[in-house]
Amino acid sequence: MPSKTGLLLLDRSRQVAVQIHEILKERILSVSLEPGSVLSRAALQDEFGVSQTPVRDALLRLQEDGLVDIFPQYATRVSRIDIDHARQAQFLRLSVEVEALRRLSVESPKETAAALEAVLNEQERFADPATYDRFDALDREFHRVLYERSRSLMLWKVMRRQSVHLDRLRRLNLPMPGKMQSLLIEHRAIVTAIARGDGQAAEAAMRTHLSGTLSIIEEIRTRFPDFILNEAANSPPPRAFPGKV
């Protein structure tokens, strides 16, 4: 939240670099900071009202996440989306979440379905272009519940770290006509199958659900050619990002 001076207020009881990292990471994942955008350290220092050290530390964390490219003495820019990384993240998610569904469909089908149903009902309320952010957050919460119910929350943290490129692709895909409605239908199919204790149907529904974004990758690449990493070409120079980051 900005202060009266225009500076973004930070919680001084927490590490400043951690907070800047969290804020910038969310901007990148939501594509409000577009792939290829230049991040000015001086502008970030001004925005957050901090010295260069926490900004540098935050950017180094983002580099470890694979979300920025740092060119020493030159520039720091938001990384382009790595399709291969996204495919591997999808494979990892599918492996873990399908196994979670198999177990939960046997061990606690009614309870798991009820927990997922509560999230799904809330998500349906935000299926509107004006509330992308809330809809997307509830989409993640739907899947987090699977990890929680299967007592695998440590894996959820690992998955979140590994899914940054897949998340950005999904965010580009989300505003496409009918996408939110399709996600709701897919979530509903998963919940229905679990409630019946039908592990095979739940697995099939999850495979369909997790394949959606990468199944139209060429359409996304065509619509956003500058956002996707082109491994066959040399990395293009950073481009300026209009306005304050």
1-80+231-245 matches 83-223 in fold: no
Tens digits of pLDDT across the chain (245 residues):
444 334 566 777 788 999 999 999 999 999 999 999 999 999 999 999 999 999 999 999 999 999 999 998 889 999 999 999 999 999 999 999 999 999 999 999 999 999 999 999 999 999 998 898 899 999 999 999 999 999 999 999 999 999 999 999 999 988 888 999 999 999 999 999 999 999 999 999 999 999 988 989 999 999 999 999 985 543 444 444 443 33
Mean pLDDT value across the chain: 89
Tell me yes or no: is domain 1-80+231-245 CATH 3.90.78.10: no
- On whether the CB atoms of residues 78 and 39 are closer than 8 A, the answer is yes
198-234 pLDDT, tens digit per residue, is 999 999 999 999 998 898 999 999 999 999 998 554 3
Instruction: For residue 33, give both structure tokens.
Output: 């900071």
Amino acid identity of residue 165, one-letter, is H
Name the residue ranges covered by the structural domains of the chain.
1-80+231-245, 83-223
Q: What sign does the dihedral 239-240-242-245 (CA atoms) show?
A: positive
Give me the pLDDT at residue 236, please: 44
The CATH architecture to which 83-223 belongs is Up-down Bundle (1.20)
